[in-house]
Amino acid sequence: MNRTRIKICGITRLEDASAAVAAGVDALGFVFYDKSPRAVTVEQVYDIINALPPFITTVGLFVDAPMREVTKTLCHIPLNLLQFHGDEDAAYCEQFGMPYIKAIRVKKGEDVNAHIASYASAAGILLDTFNEEVRGGTGETFDWSLIPASTTKPIILAGGLTPENVSDAIKQVKPYAVDVSGGVEKEKGVKDAAKINAFVRGVQSVAVN
């Protein structure tokens, strides 16, 4: 049985991180974007990461952040992976000398593979719902049929995933990983342990060839 990896994004509290780790997730995402209701400070994330067990990937999410802001964050927090969710080009993403994933908001009529090709250095590509007003965390799904059957990079599927629809999403898209935030929350920025467990069960119920 091949395994779909799981990332829980928008972690703001140690208890939520602990619940996610206990449920068996692979990665935790921290949002360094002050316009997000799930935004965190360096101090918050430092305390959470220091309490984590080994082998959990920590991901810092940035949206069109000044280079010095990302660099300063990396000086204080031992992140494993960067996630860029704005209009950053490949040169920007590469300058930090760390593995990164690039988010692409999927729009009908646009060539997804052409976007992916623009980020040849990315460790993976996160596909999310396009919304003119919001950079991720929309709680809305997009048309999964717009995703090419074959891509040159591992695909992380995001956008409106929930415990109820994640198994169907995996069956259709067969992504390398899934990324959820609002779908496992009690309220914005506060996770629900029962929903996290249900989400993980939904992922684990699907064998991907």
Catalytic residue among 9, 16, 93, 179: 9
Whether residue 75 has pLDDT greater than 90: yes
- pLDDT for 1 equals 52
- Split at pLDDT 50, 70, 90, the class of 207 is confident
> Do the domain assignments include residue 209?
no
> Do the domain assignments include residue 37?
yes
Catalytic residue among 16, 93, 128, 179: 128
> Do the domain assignments include residue 50?
yes
Q: Which residue has the tokens 């996630």?
A: 83
Whether residue 208 has pLDDT greater than 90: no
CA distance 41 to 31: 9
CA distance 189 to 12: 6
Question: What integer best gives the mean pLDDT of the chain?
Answer: 94
Q: Provide mean pLDDT across the span 78-101.
A: 97
Domain of 113?
A: 5-204
> Do the domain assignments include residue 116?
yes
Active site residue 128: yes
- pLDDT for 109 equals 82
**How many folded domains does the chain comprise?**
1
> Do the domain assignments include residue 127?
yes
Q: What is the CATH number of the domain that holds 51?
A: 3.20.20.70
Q: Provide mean pLDDT across the span 200-208.
A: 91
CA distance 37 to 5: 25
Q: Is 29 helix (H, G, I), strand (E, B) or coil?
A: strand
> Do the domain assignments include residue 44?
yes
> Do the domain assignments include residue 191?
yes
**What's the pLDDT tens digit per position in 133-145?**
655 556 689 999 9
- Token duo for residue 32: 């360094």
Q: Provide mean pLDDT across the span 71-81.
A: 97
- Token duo for residue 205: 């119920």
Active site residue 9: yes
Output the 3-class SS for 84-149: ECCCCCHHHHHCCCCCEEEEEEECCCCCHHHHHHCCCCCCEEEEEECCCCCCCCCCCCCCHHHCCC
